[in-house]
Amino acid sequence: PVPGRPPGPRPQSHKAAEKTTRVRTVLNEKQLHTLRTCYAANPRPDALMKEQLVEMTGLSPRVIRVWFQNKRCKDKKKSILMKQLQQQQHSDKTSLQGLTGTPLVAGSPVRHESAVQGSAVEVQTYQPPWKALSDFALQSDLEPPAAFQQLVSFSESGSLGTSSGSDVTSLSSQLPDTPNSMVPSPAET
């Protein structure tokens, strides 16, 4: 707080009231080619060169100045990145030089019969498990398991509703994957 000044919001400056948003400038190929050519010759053009660029491209002096600033910044970042990459590659090479051992070099693609010992193995085609399962499911000439046949005949005879709990229990013990919760206890029947 400044002495002698009442506290409160500061009055807006004249520039802030007149502030307008700028439209992003999109350069066409000819303008870009002209700017890049000039940049290649001199990345820091003088006032006279900038004036000529304004006439040649039809862009404002501010756009020309900002384009050159941005291009110099991008090139600087790129050169720093390249230096870091070179240093990293150099450090990788020096760290590998300290290692000892046998370098691994690929041999010739020629087959050496004498080097291979053992009996020949016949290679059969691979059949994925799901294929074998689907082939099994599609075969209709297979006999259903005995427990399944017993369950079907038991339900067809109609004695399912009048059976005692011991009949259901004995039947469920013959079925391979019947959970105990599915079997009624004799007290429930």
Does position 152 have pLDDT exceeding 80, yes or no?
Answer: no
Determine, yes or no, domain membership for 18: no
Determine, yes or no, domain membership for 106: no
Does position 174 have pLDDT exceeding 90, yes or no?
Answer: no
> Is the distance from CB of 34 to CB of 41 less than 8 angstroms?
no
More confident residue, 99 or 93: 93
Determine, yes or no, domain membership for 111: no
Residue 51 confidence (pLDDT): 96
Determine, yes or no, domain membership for 179: no
Does position 91 have pLDDT exceeding 60, yes or no?
Answer: yes
Determine, yes or no, domain membership for 189: no
Residue 79 confidence (pLDDT): 95
Give the pair of three-digit tokens for residue 15.
Answer: 């520039």
Phi, psi of 124 (to 5 degrees): -105, 165
Distance CA 69, CA 152 (A): 86
Determine, yes or no, domain membership for 152: no
User: Which residue segment(s) compose the domain that 83 sits in?
Assistant: 26-90
Count the domains in the chain: 1
pTM of this structure: 0.41
Determine, yes or no, domain membership for 55: yes
Determine, yes or no, domain membership for 157: no
CATH number at residue 68: 1.10.10.60
Instruction: List, for residues 40-57, the tens digit of each pLDDT value.
Output: 999 999 999 999 999 999
Instruction: List, for residues 48-88, the tens digit of each pLDDT value.
Output: 999 999 999 999 999 999 999 999 999 999 999 999 999 98
Beta strands in 69-185 (DSSP E): none
Percentage of the residues of the chain whose pLDDT score is greater than 70: 46
